[in-house]
């Protein structure tokens, strides 16, 4: 009887080990800032189901994605027809460009000529923002759904968010977005074979364009890090800070994380001379907590702002005495610093919707999402009359399993339920306007498509359609497995 349970308990042990690793706190004081790093599993889990195969229904279903898990699939827009090809077990990725079906009244032409001016790509990521988050905040702020600034963009689709580790963390999601490659949770612009991946920010800079990052988290946190560093663990904050300041060197970096940049002392976790002097030697204006953020008179301008020791304060907790800039203000200054006429890439992250949702803190979540939407409004105002600008807005994943029990009046927080305090695989929104963004309209895609559109715009090359990807299940070296024996007699199955 004991032997009959060994194989079952073996599988259970795998899950238990992975769950334990996901929740294990770090003993490194330099990692204390990371509210969501417990989900960057050191021991990834795999599933043999297809995460991204183009065989889903043809229309968006508002209810079909609840706890969809790795079965989330990709629905291509009409203008990007995919050949179903062989059965899923035989499917290989393909870089073939989309079939040109010609223009129609409902399907934009992906081969339409881009504007003659240098391309501008502005990617806005609201960490943890699920569809219920958006509907709730829109109703709270405007009295009904569809009332936020982000709803004003021309195109709307959805994103499946699974990573090679199953339910994604911010590092894997941002890596897929920044590089077009799925990877394991916790990895920063590195693939599952430990190889570094070129990010879209690095692509822009290699082409001679300025590029920038704006976030309400520490700049070394997972999402901005995945655009500007290459590390096997998102918790390598000092190494990530070094990559950003000494290697990749984005033109503009605005956010928190001063403790990882200042020289050794009471306000730093470093044991060296820090990163301020090397940045200034490269021509950067460097701001630290308490410094005022002012838009430069000319562009491009090298600008770094570490405005908080770690993350910026929640909007509801911020005070004028704190001197921290808002996400909207940082975004406006970044636009001014980057806009020198040669095109640019900018990633803007509203990081703390995720952190509030980890704590099931509805009030702070609402404040952070409204602040993110204010930044969206600033971007849309700046982009008005600029046909060369592509704006994409999405989330890396949903956090908390939020559902509204009953709607409430404008200005009133509704009754809600939270299914969890961690991430889910619920689909998230993607909104877009400008050249290339039409590919998302009415489609269910994944984060690799954001990279594909951004790279196509930056390089003026045809869109490279991401191929179907199977979640791998064949590497025992990727699995932590422990044999377990049943030690309690159950009587199940007879003597």
Closest listed residue to residue 92, CA positions, set 429, 416, 472: 472
Cis peptide before 300 (omega within 30 of 0): yes
Closest listed residue to residue 168, CA positions, set 255, 61, 72: 72
Burial of 454 (0-12, 13-18, 19+ CB in 10 A): buried
Structure tokens given for 315: 């909007």
Give the DSSP per-residue string, 134-173. HHHHHHHHHSSTT-SGGGGSSEEEEEE--BTTBS--HHHH
Where do we find the tokens 């996901």?
Answer: 22
Q: How many CA atoms lie within 13 A of 211 on its CB side?
A: 25
Q: How many CA atoms lie within 13 A of 311 on its CB side?
A: 25
Cβ 250 vs Cβ 204: under 8 Å? no
Integer Cα distance of 368 and 126 in angstroms: 9
Closest listed residue to residue 342, CA positions, set 229, 279, 247, 251: 251
Distance between first and last Cα of the chain:
7
Dihedral of CA 428/182/441/372: which sign?
Answer: positive
Could you tell me whether strands 120-126 and 344-350 are parallel, antiparallel, or unpaired per DSSP bridges? Answer: parallel
For residue 423, the Cα-to-chain-centroid distance in whole angstroms is 12
Instruction: Verify whether residue 170 is a known catalytic residue.
Output: yes
Residue of 40, 79, 170, 357 marked catalytic:
170
Instruction: List residues with catalytic annotation.
Output: 170
């Amino acid at each position: 009887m004991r032997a009959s349970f060994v194989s079952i308990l073996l599988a259970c042990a795998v899950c238990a080990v992975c769950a334990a690793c996901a929740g294990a706190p770090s003993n490194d004081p330099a990692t204390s800032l990371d509210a969501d790093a417990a989900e960057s599993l050191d021991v990834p889990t795999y599933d043999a189901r297809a995460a991204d195969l183009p065989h889903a229904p043809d229309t968006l279903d508002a209810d079909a994605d609840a706890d969809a898990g790795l079965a989330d699939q990709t629905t291509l827009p009409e203008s990007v027809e995919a050949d179903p090809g062989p059965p899923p077990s035989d499917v290989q990725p393909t870089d073939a460009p989309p079939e040109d079906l010609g223009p129609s009244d409902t399907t934009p032409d992906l081969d339409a000529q881009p504007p003659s001016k240098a391309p501008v790509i502005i990617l806005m990521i609201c960490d943890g923002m699920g569809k219920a988050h958006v509907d709730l905040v829109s109703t709270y702020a405007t009295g009904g759904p569809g009332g936020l600034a982000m709803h004003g963009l021309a195109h709307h689709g959805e994103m499946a968010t699974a990573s090679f580790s199953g339910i994604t963390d911010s590092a894997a999601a941002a890596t897929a977005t920044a590089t077009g490659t799925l990877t394991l949770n916790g990895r920063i612009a590195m693939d599952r074979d430990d190889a570094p991946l070129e990010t879209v920010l690095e692509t822009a800079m290699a082409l001679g364009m300025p590029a920038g990052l704006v976030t309400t988290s520490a700049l070394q946190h997972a999402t901005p890090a995945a655009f500007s560093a290459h590390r096997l663990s998102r918790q390598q904050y000092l190494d990530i800070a070094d990559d950003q300041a000494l290697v990749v060197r984005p033109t503009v970096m605005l956010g928190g994380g001063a403790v990882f940049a200042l020289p050794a002392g009471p306000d730093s976790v470093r044991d060296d001379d820090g990163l301020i002097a090397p940045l200034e030697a490269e021509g950067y204006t460097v701001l630290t907590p308490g410094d005022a953020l002012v838009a430069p008179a000319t562009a491009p301008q090298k600008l770094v702002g570490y405005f908080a020791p770690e993350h910026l304060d929640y909007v509801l907790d911020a005070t004028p005495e704190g001197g921290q800039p808002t996400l909207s203000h940082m975004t406006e200054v970044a636009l001014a610093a980057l806009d020198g006429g040669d095109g640019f890439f900018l990633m803007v992250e509203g990081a703390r919707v995720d952190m509030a949702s980890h704590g099931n803190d509805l009030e702070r979540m609402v404040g952070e999402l409204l602040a993110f939407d204010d930044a969206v409004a600033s971007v849309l105002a700046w982009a008005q009359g600029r046909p060369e600008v592509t704006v994409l807005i999405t989330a890396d994943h949903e956090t908390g399993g939020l559902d509204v029990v009953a709607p409430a009046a404008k200005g009133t927080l509704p009754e809600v339920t939270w299914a969890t305090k961690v991430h889910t695989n619920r689909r998230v929104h993607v909104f877009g306007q400008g050249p290339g963004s039409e590919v998302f309209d009415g489609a269910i895609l994944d984060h690799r498509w954001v990279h594909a559109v951004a790279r196509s715009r930056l390089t003026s090359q045809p869109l490279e359609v991401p191929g179907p990807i199977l979640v791998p299940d064949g590497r025992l070296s990727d699995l932590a497995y422990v044999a377990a024996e049943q030690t309690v007699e159950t009587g199940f199955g007879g003597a």
